[in-house]
């Protein structure tokens, strides 16, 4: 990974934008995307895509990341000034307490911390009870509900994790928040950088959707807008390799993921074989992945008469928390696979995948 790519990942992982509040990420993405494509279009839900235009009879190939990260929304303000929240995206409650966040209000941005119970206050109470999101309050230091409201806080305001991106002692590892899915945003831009001056045998549509973490909401408007013949979700999945690697899936440094099954998508055999052949022909390391969660691919496969769709990407540890550990070689492999697919998906290949 070169320094330009590393700095791009730092930039996008440190930007803050949870579901429905992706504007800062989208604005930066538009600036970086525009020089790499023929034109840029945004849909009304907030998805943004650039198109490299091919010939009239070329297939339409779409790669889609998503802008949003997991976060919270203010649901109520207590008399003490503490904030009640609802989650935006899936959180394991035990990972939430005692972390810094940013509260976005109409009057500005404020530092806020998720509440936790001091061990001193648990003495004699038999330890901590089972925790749910409803038990966790957010503390911006307000003295009262009235003070919070006077500073512009209202239900519906967004609370987004705050964290810095660093390289770890092992130079092949990065540590950041929001790698799900600023990985995808960064990979899309990196692939388009590699494709500058390249005429692909397709009309290539690359960008990112909004509101993936709250029900895959942005994907269907995007495919309705651009009408692709084949769809690739570019996303980060949960690694499961800390205590052992034998018999596990999603292992760091083993290459890009090819998701063959999740609860929302059974990957087409023809599409799977094309991806595998492309990876092997280009000596790109890859690993199979079976997931318990879905991606935007699941939201779009029922579009029209049926849209071939699959998720590609990487595995990373501790996703949907403040701190995710990820593999730099895996990022490079995913980038290479996106580029290779874009170069090889011609009309004949797409017709074969569709089964025409």
Residues with a known catalytic role: 212
Segment (H or E) for 344? helix 328-344
Give the DSSP letter of residue 48.
E
Contacts of 216 (CB under 8 A, 6+ apart): 294, 295, 296, 298, 299
Measuring CA to CA, how many Å separate 110 from each of 45, 139, 141, 147?
Answer: 26, 10, 10, 13
Segment (H or E) for 141? none
Angle ∠(327,331,334) on CA atoms, nearest 5 = 135
Here the tokens at position 137 are: 């309050």
Segment (H or E) for 111? strand 108-114
Say how far apart CA 187 and CA 10 lie, in whole Å: 12
Give the DSSP letter of residue 135.
G
Here the tokens at position 102 are: 């940013």
Question: Which H, E and C letters describe 257-310, residue by residue?
Answer: EEEEEECCEECCHHHHHHHHHHHHHCCCCEEEEECCCCCHHHHHCCCCCCCCEE
Specify whether the CB–CB gap between 17 and 23 falls below 8 A. Answer: yes
Say how far apart CA 142 and CA 148 lie, in whole Å: 6
């Amino acid at each position: 990974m070169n320094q330009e790519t590393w700095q791009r990942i730092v930039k996008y992982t440190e930007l803050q934008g949870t579901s429905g509040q992706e504007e800062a990420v989208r604005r930066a993405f538009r600036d970086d995307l525009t020089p790499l494509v023929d034109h840029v279009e945004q849909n009304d839900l907030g998805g943004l895509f650039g198109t490299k235009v091919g010939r009239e009879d070329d297939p339409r190939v779409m790669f889609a990341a998503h802008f949003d990260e997991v976060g919270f929304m203010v649901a109520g303000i207590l008399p003490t000034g503490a904030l009640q929240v609802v989650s935006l995206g899936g959180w394991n409650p035990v990972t939430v307490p005692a972390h810094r966040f940013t509260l976005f209000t109409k009057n500005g941005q404020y530092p806020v911390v998720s509440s936790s119970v001091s061990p001193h206050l648990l003495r004699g109470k038999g330890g901590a009870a089972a925790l749910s999101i409803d038990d966790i309050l957010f503390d911006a230091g307000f003295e009262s509900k009235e003070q919070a409201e006077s500073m512009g806080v209202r239900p519906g305001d967004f609370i987004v994790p705050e964290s810095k991106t660093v390289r770890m002692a092992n130079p092949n590892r990065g540590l950041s928040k929001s790698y799900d899915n600023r990985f995808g945003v960064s990979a899309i831009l990196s692939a388009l950088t590699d494709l500058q001056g390249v005429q692909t045998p397709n009309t290539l549509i690359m960008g990112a959707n909004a509101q993936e973490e709250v029900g895959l909401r942005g994907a269907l408007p995007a495919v309705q807008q651009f009408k692709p013949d084949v769809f690739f979700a570019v996303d980060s999945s949960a690694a499961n390799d800390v205590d052992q690697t034998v018999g596990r899936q999603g292992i760091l440094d083993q290459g890009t993921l090819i998701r063959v099954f999740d609860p929302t998508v059974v990957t087409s055999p023809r599409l799977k074989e094309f991806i595998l052949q492309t990876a092997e022909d280009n000596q790109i390391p890859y690993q199979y992945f079976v997931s318990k969660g879905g991606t935007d691919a699941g939201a779009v496969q029922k579009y029209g008469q049926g849209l071939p769709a699959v998720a590609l990407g990487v595995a990373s540890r501790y996703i949907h928390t403040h701190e995710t550990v990820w593999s730099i070689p895996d990022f490079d492999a995913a980038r290479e696979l996106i580029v290779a697919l874009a170069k090889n998906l011609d009309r004949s290949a797409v017709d074969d995948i569709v089964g025409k």
